[in-house]
Structure formats: C-alpha cells, structure tokens
Structure 1
Amino acid sequence: MMLFAALRKYFAVCMLLCSSLAFAAHPAETFVESTSNDVLAILKRESRAGNEKAVRDQIMARVLPHFDFTRMTGLAVGKHWRSASPQQQQALTQEFKTLLIYSYANALTANKVDAINVKPVTAAGDNGEVTVLTEVMVSGKKPITLDYRLSPSGNSWKVFDVMVAGASIVTTYRNSFNQSIAQHGVDGLIKQLTDRNQQLAKGATGS
C-alpha cells in the first residue's frame, strides 16, 4: 500500500510539472508581450493632440533596438541586395529604417489603442526563428493584426519581418522595390525612399 501511495504521489508531481511546462510562455512571446506593454503604456500616458512626435520618439526608443533593419532591408531589396555596393546597402538600410519607423509609429498613434493582445508562438523553425501573433485592439474599429517574425540574438530577440493583416512587410516592399530598381537602378530607389521620408517628415512636423 505504501508503494502504491508513493507511486501515486510521484505521478501526480510529474503531471503537475508537465502541465506547468506545457503552459510556460515561449521566451519570444514573453519578449513581445513586455515590449508591447511598454508601448501601450507610452500611448496611454502621452497620446494627446500635438504630442505625436514625442510619442513616436518614445515608442521608437523602446522598439528600435529589437529590429534587425539590415536583414529586413536585404529581404525587401531581394536579389539586388548582393549587387549593391556597401555604401548603397547602408543608404538603403537607413532610408528603409526611417520609412518603417514612420509607418509603425503612425499606425499606432493614428488610432486609440485600448490593448495589445499577444498570442502564443505559432511557428518555430529549426534555426530558432519564431512567429508571435498580436492583436492591437482599437476603439471603434476591428483589431489590427501585427505578427512578428523573430530570430534569437544573444539573450534577446530581433524582429526581421512584420505581417500586417497577414501580409509580410518585406515581401510587399520587395515587389515595389524590384520595379523601381529595374527602372531607375539602386540609386533611383534610394532617392525614391529619401524623397518619401522627407514628405513624411514634413507631415509629422506639420510644416
């Protein structure tokens, strides 16, 4: 009887441990949730008319270190990336980074965000890359789905693509970038991005 009692206790402990492990959040999920909570706190604390630039700057300070903009730019430029000179790659990365900053921040500041719900990791590759799904709950509108593709980076994670409503940002831009490069070359794409960012900067400052 004592043996059976001990076995029951042993299996109960095993089941409890397995249950805890099964529901433990993936590190990438925890990372995205922590970052999202900080962004939401900034939006709720700072969002008011005339304060858009301050909100954008604070959000970018929080999220920028966690984006791999070089990889994102390479993926967006596609087959032309390797043929671009180091100087062109650097310029492309800077301009694409600036464009993404405006797009990401404007998407958040243009709406009244009530909550950001982070869902469990849905896909994990052999190289450790994962996809974390989130829903941005917006007052009076349907939720905005923002899904992040991340790769391990030391003790943290780096975002290398974002899916908006299921559409990959780098894939979407790749189509237009390839058309621009085919017509005007890499330098033409750099100029196109520079001009676009200057327009966005004027709109952001109200000038």
Structure 2
Amino acid sequence: MMWNRPVWAVVALCALSVTATPAMAQASDPAAQVVDGLDSALIATMKTGGGIAARAHVIGPAVDRAFDLPLMARLSVGPAWTGFSPQEQAGVIAAFRAMSVAQYAANFDSYSGEKFTLTGPVEVRGTDRLVRTTLTGPKGVNEALNYRLRESGGQWKIIDVFYRNAISQLATRRSDFSAVLAKGGAPALISHLNRLAANPK
C-alpha cells in the first residue's frame, strides 16, 4: 500500500482500510456494518493484484454500496448544482464516481499489515450517524478516521470522511471544485474529474 500521498489521497486510502474489528456493541449497528463491509471488500481488491483497472473492477461495486455518490457530488458542488441541467448533473455524478473508484484502486495496490478498528459507540448526529475509526499503519502509527453516514432509501450511506477528526473530505472537495466551476461551469468540472480519474495519484 502506498503511503507517500497528498492528504486526500491518504484519506481515500484510509477510507477503504483492510481489517475491521468492530466492538460487539457496534456490530449490529447498520451504519457500522456499512463501514465494516467496505473494509472486507478491500481485502478482495488488494488480493486481486494486477493494474488499477483490475482493482477498480473489484472495488467499484463496494464504493457504490457504501457511499451516497450522487449526494456527495451535489454537496461538493454546492449552490451551483441547481444551475446545472439534468444532463450536466448526471455527467458530474458519473465523473465523480469514476474519480472516487480510480483513487481507491490506485491507493490500495498491496497489503502491508494495516489494521482498521472501529472505536467507541456509533454517534447520532441529528439525522446522521458518525462512525469513529482508527487506522493502524504498517509501522504501528495510528490515524483517526471518521465517517459520516446518512440514511437514503432505507440504507445508510457514507457522505463524508473526516481525517484526523477535523479535515472534511467534503469541504476540501468543495473548495477545489469551486475554483474549477468559476472558470468553466459544469463542463470544466466534468473534465477536471475525468482527469483525476485518469491520473489518480
């Protein structure tokens, strides 16, 4: 597994960690189960080997199950979303998914003994739930990584990831996307996301 990544490449890497050991009190919580299932999917992905395309084929369905990608895309864009045509919205969502899957496939290229542990009880935050985790790296270094989930269509889905208890992936992407949108609107954002998908480093 690669560790020399920019902050949000590391976040993407952490978000799909390798070994889940949830506390008994959490095991039956549906939000915790989403995170646990994501971890299990990464084991298969990392054992796949091969190139990014092969790993993306394995992890793609797990990303679809765990994340509310349409909502994440809309929240990352912000108020400008309502000005997009239906075709532009669909294009952004498709490109957002391609970027997300490619980044996870690129980062999870091998297994080096990482361990992902659910910590503390699942917290209720209004209509959302927060699942706290700790990632233990190959050198025994721990990093806090928390997931915000929201119920959609009867299923809990991840809508944001917090790195080191503070850095919101959603907020970071909104800042990044706003500069792109200011230059060229939805077409520019779609191109930007597709470039990130093609070069997920």
The 5-angstrom pairing of residues 42-81 of structure 1 reads 42=44, 46=47, 48=49, 50=50, 52-81=52-81
Instruction: Indicate how the Cα distance of structure 1 residues 27 and 189 shifts in structure 2: closer, same or farther if over 3 A, else same.
Output: closer
Instruction: Indicate how the Cα distance of structure 1 residues 43 and 89 shifts in structure 2: closer, same or farther if over 3 A, else same.
Output: closer
Q: How far did residue 141 of structure 1 move? A: 6.1
State the TM-score, normalizing by the size of structure 1.
0.71
Query: Could you say which residue in structure 1 is the equivalent of 2:25?
Result: 24
Q: State whether structure 2 residue 108 is matched by structure 1 residue 108.
A: yes
Query: Could you say which residue in structure 1 is the equivalent of 2:93?
Result: 93
Instruction: Indicate how the Cα distance of structure 1 residues 111 and 105 shifts in structure 2: closer, same or farther if over 3 A, else same.
Output: same
Give % identity. Answer: 25
Whole-angstrom distance in 1 between the partners of 2:74 and 2:157: 15
State the TM-score, normalizing by the size of structure 2.
0.73
The SS at the match of 2:199 is helix
8 Å contact kept, 1:40–1:116: no
Q: Which runs of 5 or more residues in structure 2 are unaligned?
A: 1-23
Bigger share in helix: 1
Query: Could you say which residue in structure 1 is the equivalent of 2:195?
Result: 195
Runs of 4 or more consecutive aligned structure 1 residues displaced over 4 Å after TM superposition: none
8 Å contact kept, 1:56–1:109: no
Whole-angstrom distance in 2 between the partners of 1:193 and 1:34: 26
Q: How far did residue 60 of structure 1 move? A: 2.6
Q: Which runs of 5 or more residues in structure 1 are unaligned?
A: 1-22
8 Å contact kept, 1:121–1:130: no
Query: What amino acid maps onto 2:131 in structure 1?
Result: V
8 Å contact kept, 1:122–1:132: yes
Whole-angstrom distance in 2 between the partners of 1:106 and 1:113: 18
Whole-angstrom distance in 2 between the partners of 1:199 and 1:52: 10
